[in-house]
């Protein structure tokens, strides 16, 4: 009888799925080890949980060993075969355990009866969670396929186990912070900064970080509800969340991996729902009981030193809101955020996805806008405006708002005239961005061909990319499936995402950018998240080269996805020719591995460089000679050339795309590529800037990767530009050495730079 590893992975996924998991997590671990032992035809399967403070692994579930060993068998980090695997963050497969120098004997649990030993660490990113172990009587029993299967199961277990640990570890007393004092605003028009364009209408809903009362909970004095009523509310809430998770997983398959899992974990927590039940049982009105317990959890979570705990604040507030509405039998079946504009000091990417799934109208943020949050909002079509903290804090809950996220303006209690004006503007915007006006080919006034590609952030961007006739994907930002997860997605999971992207582009060019984290795009589960200066730290290609295992998994997934497609790979934040050659060498190693394993891929996959750093500009001739193509990442190029953090409101006015140093750097990059006959493109905000488009065409750029909804506008602009005129304009601008001179030049041609936010 053959081992059924594929069935095993599917069965474990079903065991852990939100629909099937019971409330006893210890029982779940026991079910997992039983299922693994059965499918792998192993005599023993065990799960160890790691205590980070004590540096100890404790046996928590086993099938095959003495049950009394549970909770008593402990291993120091590095002790025994299992402790060594967890310390070294790698699987260890031993044909004969008794002959291994790392073997640790425990009397009385009968482990010595089993020779074959396979252990896989359970990891969340690079953080140790525990270990999954299988053993068999026969020596050399386990195969490389068994290792792969066990790694897949360990990845599925990691998030569930850690969430349980976080929730249990967070129950500590915390002193309540005073509620922020709200100021009465003296005007009805608030001016901020645009982060994601569009207009939104709705009522203000503040996601403050302090107390549950800031959730839109109804009157806490409502009475007459029994414990039975509350249990029905729990059941209805669970059904809603499970439905929401399924729906989100279908619509946002690449980034929606169990983003509502914390909701159900909290709902299943007896100390949460049980405490509410006890309050109701002793006479506290149901709604007030929910508010009291939610408030306690919010205080504890928000004051935690652990970022992973603080991330649960929104989850517990949302859960309290749903429980209350369901207890009151409100007619709104979905209990979502339609008609609401969320005001928050800060939001996580996963928060944005959750609130998007619950039909939020828009966001007002009162901290610096991170680039990944802005990009996600743009992809989801949700307007976002950044306001000063004192302005955002002064907006009363329930206040009628209209957001003009194009200009960064928020209207309080907008008049009928304001509403009428924005209805007209919305209609005009639809005309300007009508996909029906986009032609299959883009040509300048003189007939020269220009290519427009799409920036893809989420798989949901593929629909507008096809609608607006994108000629391919000029930039796929691969970090988003990493940012919103609780762990590094494994190779097979990445492959599924990338393959969908390639398949849906139907043979058109797809350019994958390798993982670009760091700066303001941090992974909460990466151990080095608190760098002194993250924009100059372990980010982008530096992270990938330092973490070769993670890099190789992504590269292998890229190569596999492009086996029958037209794909390219480019490396971000390259600072030297050596960076590129080191990355290219690893790609070739991955190709050799895939070939040896008989896995299809394309040896013709082109490898390119994102030009974003001053040091790269200085060696652009050498980079152009080595790389297959160059891509100008305009956002970071401007940021690093000018030493301006574009997310810092204090200096954002110095972030100038028309700075003479930027113009000359772009010209130098394009010239180097053209001299060697290499393809060169531009992406970032500058690529769709109508003020700078003539200059970009004038220096020789013909490939533009843009947020594809801007395609109609960009195409119309290109149609009205003669290349000869653009070249003359570019030559004139390159001769100017002052910002003021360039601004005056553009003003003369009715292309004056807009005021920077």
What gap in Å lies between CA 117 and CA 94, rounded to an integer? Answer: 5
What gap in Å lies between CA 753 and CA 757, rounded to an integer? Answer: 12
Which residues, listed in sequence order, are joined to residue 650 by a DSSP beta bridge?
A: none
Q: How far is CA 498 from CA 22, 375, 435, 494, 757, in A?
A: 33, 19, 26, 6, 36
- Rounded to 5°, angle at Cα 692 from 610 and 746: 145
Ranges assigned E (strand) in 335-408 = 340-344, 362-365, 384-386, 400-404
What gap in Å lies between CA 371 and CA 668, rounded to an integer? Answer: 27
Whole-angstrom Cα Rg for the chain: 28
Cα maximum dimension of the chain = 89
Q: Is 215 a catalytic residue?
A: no
Catalytically annotated residue among 93, 215, 335, 683:
683
Closest among 617, 618, 660 to 636, alpha carbons compared: 617
Give the tokens for residue 565: 């497609």
What gap in Å lies between CA 154 and CA 89, rounded to an integer? Answer: 12
What is the spatial order of strands in the sheet that 127-136 belongs to? 74-76, 56-63, 44-51, 127-136, 116-124, 92-94
> How, if at all, do strands 92-94 and 74-76 pair?
unpaired
Query: Which position has the token pair 């919010």?
Result: 298
| Contact (Cβ atoms closer than 8 angstroms) between residue 571 and residue 548 | no
696 sits in which H/E element: helix 693-698
What gap in Å lies between CA 312 and CA 322, rounded to an integer? Answer: 15
| Contact (Cβ atoms closer than 8 angstroms) between residue 102 and residue 82 | no
DSSP code for 518: B
Catalytically annotated residue among 211, 372, 451, 659:
372
| Contact (Cβ atoms closer than 8 angstroms) between residue 202 and residue 339 | yes
Closest among 453, 510, 451 to 702, alpha carbons compared: 451
Q: Is 263 a catalytic residue?
A: no
CA atoms within 13 A on the CB side of 674: 12
- Please identify every residue annotated as catalytic: 372, 683
């Amino acid at each position: 009888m053959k081992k059924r590893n594929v069935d095993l992975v599917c069965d474990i996924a079903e065991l852990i799925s939100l629909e099937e998991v019971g409330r006893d997590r210890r029982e779940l671990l026991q079910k997992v080890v039983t299922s693994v032992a059965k499918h792998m035809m192993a005599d023993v399967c065990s799960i160890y949980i790691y205590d980070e403070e004590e540096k100890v692994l404790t046996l928590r579930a086993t099938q095959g060993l003495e049950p009394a060993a549970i909770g008593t068998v402990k291993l120091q980090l590095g002790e025994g075969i299992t402790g060594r695997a967890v310390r070294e963050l790698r699987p260890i497969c031993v044909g004969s355990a008794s002959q291994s120098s790392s073997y640790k004997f425990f009397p009385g649990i009968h482990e010595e009866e089993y020779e074959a030993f396979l252990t896989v660490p359970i990891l969340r990113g690079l953080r140790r969670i525990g270990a999954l172990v299988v053993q068999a009587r026969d020596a050399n029993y386990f195969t490389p396929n068994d290792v792969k299967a066990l790694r897949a199961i360990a990845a599925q277990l990691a998030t569930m186990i850690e969430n349980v640990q976080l929730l249990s570890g967070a129950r500590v007393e915390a002193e309540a912070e005073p509620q922020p004092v709200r100021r009465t605003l003296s005007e009805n028009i608030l001016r901020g900064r645009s982060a994601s364009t569009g207009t939104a209408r709705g009522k203000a809903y503040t996601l403050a970080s302090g107390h549950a009362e800031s959730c839109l909970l109804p009157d806490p004095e409502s009475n007459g509800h029994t414990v039975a009523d509350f249990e029905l509310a729990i059941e209805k809430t669970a059904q809603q969340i499970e439905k929401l998770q399924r729906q989100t997983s279908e619509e946002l398959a690449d980034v929606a991996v169990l983003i509502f899992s914390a909701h159900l974990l909290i709902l299943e927590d007896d100390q949460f729902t049980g405490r509410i039940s006890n309050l109701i049982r002793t006479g506290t009105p149901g709604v007030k009981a929910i508010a009291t317990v939610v408030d306690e959890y919010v205080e504890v979570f928000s004051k935690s030193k652990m970022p992973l705990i603080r991330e649960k604040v929104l989850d517990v507030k949302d859960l309290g809101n749903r429980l209350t509405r369901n207890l009151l039998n409100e007619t709104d079946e979905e209990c979502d955020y339609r008609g609401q504009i969320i005001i928050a000091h800060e939001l996580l990417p996963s928060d944005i996805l959750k609130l998007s799934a619950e039909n939020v109208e828009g966001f007002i943020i009162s901290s610096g806008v991170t680039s990944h949050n802005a990009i996600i909002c743009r992809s989801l079509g949700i307007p976002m405006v950044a306001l000063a903290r004192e302005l955002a804090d002064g907006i009363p809950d329930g206040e009628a708002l209209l957001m003009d996220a194009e200009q960064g303006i928020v209207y309080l209690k907008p008049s009928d005239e304001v509403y009428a004006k924005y209805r007209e503007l919305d209609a005009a915007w639809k005309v300007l961005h009508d996909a029906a006006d986009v032609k299959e080919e883009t040509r300048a006034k003189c007939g020269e061909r220009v290519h427009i590609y799409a920036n893809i952030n989420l798989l949901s961007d593929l629909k507008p990319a096809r609608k607006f006739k994108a000629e391919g994907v000029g930039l796929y930002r691969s970090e988003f499936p990493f940012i919103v997860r609780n762990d590094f997605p494994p190779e097979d999971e990445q492959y599924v995402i990338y393959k969908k992207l390639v398949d849906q582009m139907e043979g058109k060019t797809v350019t994958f950018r390798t993982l670009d984290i760091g700066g303001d795009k941090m992974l909460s589960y990466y151990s080095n998240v608190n760098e002194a200066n993250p924009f100059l730290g372990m980010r982008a290609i530096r992270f990938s080269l330092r973490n070769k295992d993670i890099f190789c998994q992504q590269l292998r997934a890229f190569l596999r996805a492009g086996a029958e497609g037209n794909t390219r790979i480019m490396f971000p934040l390259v600072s030297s020719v050596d960076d590129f050659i080191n990355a290219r060498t690893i790609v070739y190693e991955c190709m050799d591995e895939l070939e040896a394993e008989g896995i299809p891929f394309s040896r013709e996959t082109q490898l390119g460089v994102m030009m974003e750093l001053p040091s790269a500009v200085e060696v652009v001739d050498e980079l152009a000679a080595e790389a297959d193509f160059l891509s100008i990442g305009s956002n970071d190029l401007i940021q690093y050339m000018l030493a301006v953090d574009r997310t810092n409101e204090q200096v954002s006015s110095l972030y100038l795309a028309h700075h003479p140093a930027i113009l000359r750097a772009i010209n130098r990059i394009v010239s180097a590529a053209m001299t060697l006959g290499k393809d060169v493109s531009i992406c970032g905000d500058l690529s769709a800037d109508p003020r700078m488009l003539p200059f970009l065409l004038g220096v020789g750029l013909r490939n533009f990767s843009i947020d594809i909804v801007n395609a109609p506008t960009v195409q119309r602009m290109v149609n009205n530009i003669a290349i000869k005129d653009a070249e003359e304009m570019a030559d004139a601008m390159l001769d100017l050495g002052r910002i003021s001179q360039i601004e005056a030049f553009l003003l003369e041609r009715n292309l004056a730079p807009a005021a920077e936010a």
